[in-house]
Amino acid sequence: MPFKFIHITDTHLANPGLKLYGLDPRARLDAAIADINKHQSDAAFAVVTGDLTHWGEPESYANFADAMAALKIPYIAMVGNHDKRVACLDGLKAAPRDSNGFVQGTRITEHGLFVFLDTLDETSHAGEMCAKRLGWLASTLAAAPADMPFVVFMHHPPFPVGVHAMDEISLKQSPEFAEVIAPYRSRIRHLFFGHVHRPIFGSYGKIPFSTLRGTNHQVWFELDAAAAEHLASHEPPAYGVVLIDGENLVVHSHDFLDESLRFPFEPPAGVDGRGYALNIPAR
């Protein structure tokens, strides 16, 4: 059986009872957790790649912790541009901490070293990796056995994704980040990030990457740099199911609130297959 873990991003929890952009972020996270518990409880753990909260209050982290307590598998909590580092570390035991007080850490798995990075700049929505954080990353990668692969997680993408409004607030130290990982690119099996609230998949150089919709609101798909507005949307939320074995890494994006019709591919006896899909009554 492949090794399985869950990718969740951009939960944007507010204080209990508050809505965000007309949606209830706690209710939607609760729904994601219930779906994971029902269908994916054999996963090893979940990784939440930042923007755990929307405004960073201690009460919002308590709300997040309360929601995640229902999850039947362990989880790792990372920070994004809407988070507050101290409040996160004070409120969440699942948040890693490096020797400099950043929300960074590692986890050894049967498929390599999973590396969790802190790209939070509390003065900007753009990402930041200062010299201390880059130094921690460099030393962490260098200390790993020479044959050990890596899976890297961060909130901000370290390259443009084509959604202009989000590219303006991507990682500011993209060249420095690229320089640090350059000796290890062939060993990085996958890069996971959040921030963009879009389902995007591709390669960063030769490193495969993926990102997902958040569990609350989304960023509307707009590639035109001249577009007048930066729009959010109520597109369906998702979480990722990741399967890894010795050769392959597969990412499934699951729209956990989807209620569209489900039906067998084969029509029941006596039904004309040519009109089968058109004649199923709505639920």
Domain coordinates of the chain in residue numbers? 3-258
Q: Which residues are within 8 A (CB) of 208 and not within 5 positions of it... i.e. 6 or more apart?
A: 189, 190, 191, 201, 202, 249
Q: Quick one: pLDDT at residue 273?
A: 72
E strands, the chain, where? 3-8, 46-48, 75-77, 105-109, 112-116, 150-153, 188-192, 200-204, 207-211, 218-219, 232-233, 239-244, 249-254
For residues 83 and 62, what is the distance between their CA atoms, to the nearest angstrom? Answer: 13
CA angle in degrees (0–180, nearest 5) for 251-48-209: 35
For residues 29 and 239, what is the distance between their CA atoms, to the nearest angstrom? Answer: 10
Q: Quick one: pLDDT at residue 281?
A: 56
For residues 13 and 147, what is the distance between their CA atoms, to the nearest angstrom? Answer: 39
Q: Quick one: pLDDT at residue 191?
A: 98
Q: Where are the alpha helices (DSSP H) in the chain?
A: 25-39, 58-68, 85-91, 131-143, 164-167, 174-181
For residues 95 and 91, what is the distance between their CA atoms, to the nearest angstrom? Answer: 9
Which residue has tokens 């308590």? 62
Which residue has tokens 């929300």? 103
Number of helical (H) and strand (E) elements in the chain, helices listed first: 6, 13
CA angle in degrees (0–180, nearest 5) for 138-140-141: 70
Q: Quick one: pLDDT at residue 82?
A: 98
- Provide the whole-model pTM: 0.95
Q: For the structural domain made of 3-258, what CATH number should be given?
A: 3.60.21.10
For residues 151 and 84, what is the distance between their CA atoms, to the nearest angstrom? Answer: 25
Along the 283 residues of the chain, how does pLDDT read in single tens digits? 899 999 999 999 999 999 999 999 999 999 999 999 999 999 999 999 999 999 999 999 999 999 999 999 999 999 999 999 999 999 999 999 999 999 999 999 999 999 999 999 999 999 999 999 999 999 999 999 999 999 999 999 999 999 999 999 999 999 999 999 999 999 999 999 999 999 999 999 999 999 999 999 999 999 998 887 889 999 999 999 999 999 999 999 999 999 998 888 888 887 777 777 655 555 5
For residues 153 and 165, what is the distance between their CA atoms, to the nearest angstrom? Answer: 22
Helix 174-181 × helix 131-143 angle, to 10° = 20
Burial of 54 (0-12, 13-18, 19+ CB in 10 A): buried
Name beta bridge partners: 242.
5, 251
